[in-house]
Structure 1
Amino acid sequence: MFKKTSFILLFSAGLFSIHAQQTIPFRITKHNNIIVKTLVNKKDSLDLMFQIAMEDASISPERQRKADHIIFSQEISEKNTVRIGKLNIDNVRFFDNELTGQEADGKIGTGMFAGKTFKIDYDNNRFEIYDRQPDLKGYQPIMLLNDKGAFYIAADNVIDGKQQQEAYFLLQSGYPGGLLYSNKFAEEKGLNEKLKITGEKTLKNSSGKSIITKQGILPFFKLGNSVLKDVSAGFFAGDMKTQTVNYFGADMMRRFNWIFDADRKTAYIKPSKYFSEPYYKVK
């Protein structure tokens, strides 16, 4: 009897370890940014924006809350603790004076999920952290290119209604809009002539050089087996052309639920409740 009971307990414990997970609630701002409430070094309560394009954390010079217990040396602070819900993270590196999204005091990256599979669940406004791979029913795999903690995905762009143009996009949850093309891609594909332009804004720097931002509509965008229509797409023109990579922004990310495997070589996506929502208007 004792052996049978022990076996049942061990079997149950094994099942629990397969499905064990931690859940971290978040909120989404009207600018599509993910905000998590944190307690840093057991003293500073900060709202941090989740930035998938970084591993560490940072504090904004425009923060609304005090961060007096993060001690910086040459704008870097090592070995901090961060608590998010029931998750405790040690040895977090913070950078000082980095701008962040609206409503946030700073940023926190994917280091809080180090070595774990994690899910961004836009349907339920939460992260889920797994010890092992969760149920992937209904999800499709897409390859990740991991460049020092920054994640790139490949997708097809139908620009002129005929030919698909494959491009790599950096997952960039800090950019509130949809797609933002690199200067090279915009010029090579003639986006200024081929896209329907819906908005334009000109800025000048201290040297009088102009930065022109344009917003257009991409007819079709294909990620895996999912096709989005009339996607909001931006690009730069003018004298200064500093956009070196394509962005897959927060407005695009929220249209899917995401599961990232522990080795960050594969992501699994499934359309979220936001898949067909109107696109964010970049101002």
Structure 2
Amino acid sequence: MKFSLAFVTIIISSIQLVAQETIPFRLTKHNNLIIQTLINEKDTLDLMFQISMNDAALSPNRIRHANSIQFENEISDNNSIQIGNLQWENIRFFDNEYSGHESDGKIGKVLFQNKIFGIDYDQNQFVIYNELPNLTDYQEIPLLTDGEFFLISADSIFDWQPTELYFLLQSGFSGAIMYSNEVAKTNQLNQVLTIYKEQEYSDSQGNKIISKQAILPYFHFANTVLKDVKVGFFKGEARVQTQNYFGADLMKRFNWIFDVKNEKAYIKPSKYLRDKYYENEQ
């Protein structure tokens, strides 16, 4: 079969219109997405992508220096970021915000500037789209936005009863699920789930904090059922966890496309769907 040059040109052009740019990332053993960046054309930093923030931040535990970022009251404006051939201007950095393992800081959704974007765990890349791509094999789910936060709904099976909850997408949390204090108390998770690990420690005020690691028999997200998911929660009120986290260990089990303007996300299972679960960290 022969194709004319004009036909081939049309096909290539249509592909370019949909998939505009890609940004490579490195997935660590802690499920963090690390992007190598050049800051202000001077400093090379490994920044963790944090889906629950818009701007950027440097960690007090960073290994690499970033002398080109000048802070005033722990805020620095008008910075540039370069990733490969892509460059962003007028980036705000906050100072002394903790980040994930193997990172010097974190970067949020400013990279996508209100465009449709995808997280492709199979190819280790972000994709920035001008319009929705081919969604074959993807499932549409509602996406709620609350300021910088993205929230999705899913069913947790507590004592054989499905409970629909909203979860904040939290790519900076290495584990699978963290339940809020309210959910833990209301659903008596300390009694209905199998606890496999308990840790007691004190905060800076000397209050004792008890963290629990447990096994959730079934977790129903969209049309996928996950079994024996490792989850975490806190006992008591000394540590206040106000949100349910849908963490990086769950996020990596799917490839994502986010259409924020229309409050929709699209997911399909990734190659990590049935991987062993990460042990939650506090």
TM-score normalized with structure 1 length: 0.93
Output the amino acid matched with 1:30: K
- Aligned equivalents of 1:114, 1:26: Cα separation in 2: 18
Q: For residue 128 of structure 1, what is the aligned residue in structure 2?
A: 127
Taking a change above 3 Å as real, the CA distance of residues 12 and 258 of structure 1, as seen in their structure-2 partners, is closer
- Aligned equivalents of 1:261, 1:27: Cα separation in 2: 23
Given candidates 178, 181, 187, the residue that maps to 1:180 is 178
Counterparts in 2 of 1:168-247, with a 5 A limit?
Answer: 168-247=166-245
Secondary structure of 2:168's match?
strand
Q: For residue 110 of structure 2, what is the aligned residue in structure 1?
A: 111
Secondary structure of 1:212's match?
strand
Q: For residue 41 of structure 2, what is the aligned residue in structure 1?
A: 42
Q: State the Cα distance separating 1:262 from its structure 2 match.
A: 4.7
Higher mean alpha-carbon deviation, 257-266 vs 273-282, is at: 257-266
Taking a change above 3 Å as real, the CA distance of residues 135 and 8 of structure 1, as seen in their structure-2 partners, is closer
Q: For residue 252 of structure 1, what is the aligned residue in structure 2?
A: 250
- Aligned equivalents of 1:243, 1:53: Cα separation in 2: 16
- Aligned equivalents of 2:216, 2:23: Cα separation in 1: 34
Taking a change above 3 Å as real, the CA distance of residues 262 and 242 of structure 1, as seen in their structure-2 partners, is closer
Counterparts in 2 of 1:60-99, with a 5 A limit?
Answer: 60-99=59-98
Work out whether residues 210 and 238 of structure 1, in 8 Å CA contact, stay in contact via their aligned partners in 2. Answer: no
- Aligned equivalents of 1:85, 1:266: Cα separation in 2: 29
- Aligned equivalents of 2:57, 2:235: Cα separation in 1: 30
Cα RMSD, aligned residues only: 1.9
Work out whether residues 58 and 106 of structure 1, in 8 Å CA contact, stay in contact via their aligned partners in 2. Answer: yes
Work out whether residues 254 and 273 of structure 2, in 8 Å CA contact, stay in contact via their aligned partners in 1. Answer: yes
Work out whether residues 19 and 127 of structure 2, in 8 Å CA contact, stay in contact via their aligned partners in 1. Answer: no
Secondary structure of 1:186's match?
helix
Number of residues of Structure 1 aligned to a counterpart in Structure 2: 278
Work out whether residues 215 and 234 of structure 1, in 8 Å CA contact, stay in contact via their aligned partners in 2. Answer: yes
Answering whether residue 264 of structure 2 is matched by residue 273 of structure 1, we say no
Work out whether residues 19 and 133 of structure 2, in 8 Å CA contact, stay in contact via their aligned partners in 1. Answer: no
Q: State the Cα distance separating 1:15 from its structure 2 match.
A: 1.8
Work out whether residues 181 and 237 of structure 2, in 8 Å CA contact, stay in contact via their aligned partners in 1. Answer: no
> Deviations for 1:163-194, whole angstroms, at most 9, x for unmatched residues?
21000000000010010000000000010000
Identity of aligned residues (%): 52
Q: For residue 51 of structure 2, what is the aligned residue in structure 1?
A: 52
Secondary structure of 1:184's match?
helix
Output the amino acid matched with 1:132: E
Work out whether residues 181 and 243 of structure 1, in 8 Å CA contact, stay in contact via their aligned partners in 2. Answer: yes
Higher mean alpha-carbon deviation, 12-21 vs 151-160, is at: 12-21
TM-score normalized with structure 2 length: 0.94
Structure 1 unaligned spans of 5+: none
Q: For residue 26 of structure 2, what is the aligned residue in structure 1?
A: 27
Secondary structure of 1:36's match?
strand
Q: State the Cα distance separating 1:264 from its structure 2 match.
A: 5.9
Work out whether residues 210 and 239 of structure 1, in 8 Å CA contact, stay in contact via their aligned partners in 2. Answer: no
Taking a change above 3 Å as real, the CA distance of residues 16 and 125 of structure 1, as seen in their structure-2 partners, is closer
Output the amino acid matched with 2:257: I
Structure 2 unaligned spans of 5+: none
Secondary structure of 2:70's match?
coil
Taking a change above 3 Å as real, the CA distance of residues 239 and 12 of structure 1, as seen in their structure-2 partners, is closer
Work out whether residues 146 and 264 of structure 1, in 8 Å CA contact, stay in contact via their aligned partners in 2. Answer: no
Counterparts in 2 of 1:152-171, with a 5 A limit?
Answer: 152-161=151-160, 163-171=161-169
